[in-house]
Structures are given as structure tokens and as C-alpha cells.
Structure 1
Amino acid sequence: MTSSPVPARKGKPARKGKPKGRHPDKALSAQFVRAAPPGRYCDGNTLYLFVQESGARSWVQRLVIRGRRHDLGLGSAALVSLAEARVRARANRKLAREGGDPMAERRRARDVPSFAEAAARVLAQKQPGWRSEKHGRDWMSSLERYAFPRIGKVSVSEVTSADLLEILSPIWYTKAATARVVLQRMRSVLDWAMAMEFRTGNPCDQLRPVLGSQHRVIRHMPALPHRDVAAAIRAVRGTSRSPAGPLAFEFLVLTAARWGEVRWAEWGEIDDGARVWTVPAARMKAKREHRVPLCRRALEILDRARALDDRSPFVFTRGGAKPLSEKTLRRLLKKQEIAAVPHGFRSSFRDWAAEKTDHPREVVEAALAHVVQNRVEAAYRRTDLFERRRHLMNDWAAYLADDRSRD
């Protein structure tokens, strides 16, 4: 049998230490909650009823969280019954005893972003690590087009696998590559939500068996046979209103580099005396610094580029401090009806090295800045085979300069 609830005494000093005797437990009744006069009443288990002079009644829990006392509001007594308040108080007390923070849980529940807001925060987190701003725009635009109409305004904690199936099913087979990209990007957003403790699982994990296999076919980037590369260089020379484009194209072919590495190349990376171009790790696909030996023709191209604009930090520029456009080389090749993309000339170089030379495979792979896949071999290889690569690149330049038949 519990004692009758008594309001806290006013105007008298509080007794030091804990009160003697048995702590109250379920001291209040539903009838008393409805009729209690102004004051503070203890129900037990850290739960209190506060009745204001105006008659407003609310539940407050006094709880020690990680060594500090806090008052947690549990809602109005008009909306939260005595039984509900006891359940909430018990759950909060249990969580606090286990080292958790009920206040943090409530803040998280209140501050959960929508899927669109979460995507924006993920983009802001990832963008500094990407080499291109365009990738960030593409990343967001794919979600805006396919995901946001369905789940953009939905709380990131409430997104379900059914929502994701509604997004992906219409494009899973008709736009297979796009669907895979959208799935990957939605997974990134929901992984972030898990890391922020807004949810406990990622619904993307359940989709693959349901969506089914796409029977992916590997499509290689269009590339020229190596015997036709020299003719392509001659066709591109002098065809653009800006000479920087053709120079950049020939430099790309001679160095077997990626277009992003060439497009953003800066004069500070070039050592004319040592005949070396050092591409920083931030611009490399493998995130490792890469030294590129420069043949005589590559140095001539650099001299011509320097004469065009020696004020820009970029080697190949469209004027001022701007590098060439990402589409510059594709337009040049398309204009000359050359059936290849810039990246395809790395394949042409690789085929030439395999078919026409005796250079070891590891030297050719190092020239392409490919990562050694075997972990044991990678652990022991401490050299970048630079001098052997210099001989390889000189042979490639000589092959391209030879106007004789490539049969």
C-alpha cells in the first residue's frame, strides 16, 4: 500500500542527504493526477508530476546521466497518461544506468534529416576527396532525378527497402549502368545515416537478390589499333582554333597518361632538366605519386605550350588560370572522325608494348600507373622501374614518329 502523495514543501530548507525510509513507488493515481493542486509530486522511479498555478500539468523525470543531474520533460499529463509516463521513465532510467544518454536519443529523433538533406551532407563530406567538381554534380543529379521524387522528403530513418525497389525496378534492366550507380549512391547516404545513428540497418543490403542479375556485358572504351595512332596525331595537329588542345592530345598519347592527369598538369610538376613530370597522388587514380619520363618530343610540346601562355599555372590552358575543358579532346577526335576516346590511347599503348616490344610486363604496367594486384609482390617491390620506363617511352615515341607502314 502506497502513501498519499504530498507536494514538496515550500519555504523550508531541503534535508541534506537522501531521505530516510523506503523510496516511493507508484505513489500517484490517475484520479490524483487529474485533481492535484499546484505543486510537485513524486511518483517514484525518478518520475514527478508538476502542476502549475494555471492548472497545467506535466511529467518531469529527474535523472542522473553520466554523473550529472538532468530534468527531462516527458510531456503534458493531458496527453501522456500516468501509465505511459511510467513506461518512458523506466526506459530512460535503464538506458542511463547502461551508460546511454536519453537526452541524446531524443535530440537525434528530433533532428533526423530527410533523405535529400542527408544526401547534401554526404556530398559535402565526400566532395573534397574527389578530383573533379563535375563528379559531385553528377553524383547529386542522379539522386535528384531518380531517388528524390520518391524519398527526397522522407526522413532518412524511415526509408525502406520497398521505397528503394520502387526507385530501381523501372530502370534495373532498361538503364542497368545508371541503376547500379543510383543504388551505390543511395547506399552511401544510408551508410552515413547508420554512422550518425539515425538508423540501425541499410535497406540496400536486401535488394540484390530481389532485383536479380543484370547479366552485365563488359564494354571496352573505343580505342585505335596502335598502327593508326600516329595518323590520328597528324590528323589532330592544327585542327583547333586553340593550339593547346592538339598539344595536350599528343602529350597524352606520348605519356600514356589519363586525361584528368594531363588536363590538370601544372608547370610546378615539370622538371625540364631531369625530363620528368611528377603527378601528385591527389590526381592519380591509385592515390600514389607517379613519375612520368618525358621523351624529346614531349619536351618540345611543353616548350610550345609555355610559349602560348606562360602566366597560367596549368600547362594546357584555354586562357588565364583555366585548364582545358573536359570535353576538349573528345570534340577534337569526333571532329576528325577518329573512332576512339582519350582513355582508349592507353589501350593502344598497351597493345603496342605487348605485340611489338620485349619490354617486361611489369615495366609496361608501371608506365600505366597500374597497381600491383598481388599483395606479396606489391609488398616487396620498392622501385617504380623509372629508368626502364624511360627506355619504354622513348621507344613508343620513336614508333609514333616512324611514318613507315605499320603492317
Structure 2
Amino acid sequence: MTQLLPADPQALLFGRVFRPDRGGPSVVAVRDGRLIDISGTFATARDLCEKADPALALRAAAGEDIGTLADVHANTDPATRDPTRPWLLSPIDLQAVKAAGVTFATSLLERVIEEKARGDAGAAAAIRVQVESLVGTDLRFLRPGSPEAMALKQTLIAAGAWSQYLEVGIGPDAEIFTKGQPLSTVGTGVEIGVHPASTWNNPEPELVLVIASTGRIVGAALGNDVNLRDVEGRSALLLGKAKDNNGAAAVGPFVRLFDDHYGLEQVRGAEITLRVWGADGYVLDGRSSLSQISRDPADLVAQAINGHHAYPDGLVLYLGTLFAPIQDRDVPGRGFTHKAGDVVSIACAELGTLTNRVAATDRVEKWTLGAAALMRNLAGRGLI
């Protein structure tokens, strides 16, 4: 259980569970290894995050002890679940689900390669050499929108190597896109979805900021921004098809609220690790260091929510990843791609571990609890 939770015993955590006895989800506080249902005070995660001081509000919230985290976590996998007992859900609900793309140099180069390869994994290796000869491999100190970045842009245009991904990678405007719909994210211990038509795809281990409707960052969690590289590589206009699929956005295991022990400075220094275990014996390890991000997390938030973009229920924002797998899995030169049954584990000392198993997008656990169903359930329970 220590692997699931942050290393810091003072971490202030909340999440959501599905309660079969209530026919719907409840917001829970994690306290001393137990889950406390605080839905009588906060009907939704959104309501908690909208408080003036969510950390203080969570500490003060009383509720019903519904059991140990160990027991609820053990009952979360749909393959072995007892449907009469509670199980873990994604910790967020009504918030918009947004993501920032091309925020790391490695991610930037891989997006350019995808575009040049037109989604053909076999062509990626040769194009990678060509692109790196023009751009280099270390853009960590190139500030997006700076005079130096604009000079590089002109050089690439002259060489016929400009790309829309370079525009958002080193230009003044970040790529902010919709990753999924409110209530569509999945939590730890369940399946993530990869479209079976995709032959080149990968996990994206990321830190996810939780942001109130005022634009204030209130907490963070781990995320997996599952990506279909071949689909996005065919055309950037297919980004929605590459990103927004059943089970393709994981968040969890819990949201850690900002307080005196954890805040934006800890986010900026976060080290995220990734491991993929395949049923075929394949193992892939990777990491993403927030210290190498090209745009500061606060700047990304300011581009996502501002006077031009309002989110009355708040939002979560995936910050992008340094990780881009190029190791061959099967065919030499074709890099990594998922197989059904892969187990993906994303970990960070400050946030715990998010673990999911890969399945086809038409075979993951069916998503049926939309906003209308949630409101009816909460109203029926007298919570709203």
C-alpha cells in the first residue's frame, strides 16, 4: 500500500469511490489508511476544489468510514471486482480535462518526426537523424517565444524543415487541447484504452494539475495521456481521434492538495518514472523530469484558463512528458507500441503510483456515468 500512496505521510489526499449501496460515486478523504466518505459535505470533487482553501476544507470535513484503502483498492480491478463492495474511481469529476502538448524538447522532436513520417513507424528512425541534425537534441534552455527561438524558427523555415509542432514547441503560444470529457477519466487499477486500429502508440506519463475556476492551482495527481502516434502523425487535425478515446485518460491514484508541505515548487522538481510490463515478457522503463519542461507549469495554466477561456467547474491540465519511447519492441526500426495486457505503472514519490492495464477501446469497462446520471444520483441521495 505504501507504493500506491505518496512517500510523505503528511500528504493531504482526496479521491472518489463508487459505492454500490448508494448507486453512485462519493468523494473520499484518505486518512491513516482508511477512506472517509465526505460526500455529505462535498457532493463532487469539483465542489471541494472550488473552496477558498481546499486543504483546510478537506481537513475539517467529517464523514463516514467506508473501510480500508487496501480493501477498496483490491476490489478495483473489474476482472476480479465484487460489485457489491466499493471500488476506486478517478479522483476528478466535473472538471474539464485539458492537456498541454510539446512541452519538452524530446516530445517536441518526436512530434516533428511523427508528422514527417506521416504515421509510419518504420520511417521514423531515418527522419529522426535528419531532424536532429537541423535542430539538435538539447533544447532545454531555449525559451519558447524568445528571440533565440524565433531565430531558430527562421533557420528551419529556410531549410524547409519547419513544422506545426515546432511552432507550439518554441513559439509564444502553447498547445492546449481537450484530452477528454468531464467524468471520462479512469483511475488506478482499471483498464486504459488503446484503439485496436493503431499500430504505433505509447503511454505518456505526466503530472496533472488540478485548477479551480478562478485559475488557482489547488493540487496535483499523476496522469497517463495515452497517445496514438500513427493517427496524430497522419494529420494534426486527427488529434481528437488520437487522444480522446474510451479509457485513454487516466488520473490518480488521488489528488494531492497544495498545502504547507506541497506546492508548485515541488511540482517543478517532480521526477516521474514509468514501467511497462508486457504479457510477452517485454519491459520498458522511462522517466520524465519536470525540471526539464520548456514552459513553466504556471505559464501553461495561464494559457489554459484566462479572460478568454472560462471553466466554471475548473479543469485539470496534463503538463506533457519528456518520455518518448524509441526502443524497438518487435520489428527493428519500428520502435515501441502497446499490446493488449500491458501493465503501465507511473510513479512519483510525492504523488504515489498510478497503474493501469491496456485493453482495446471497445473492450475497456463501459463508461455510463455522465453528468446527467451523476446529477440524478446525487439528487436522489439528497446531496444536492
Please state which band the TM-score falls in when normalised by the shorter chain.
under 0.3
TM normalised by structure 2 equals: 0.22
Rg larger in structure: 1
Q: Which has the higher helix share?
A: 1
Q: Which has the higher strand share?
A: 2
TM normalised by structure 1 equals: 0.21
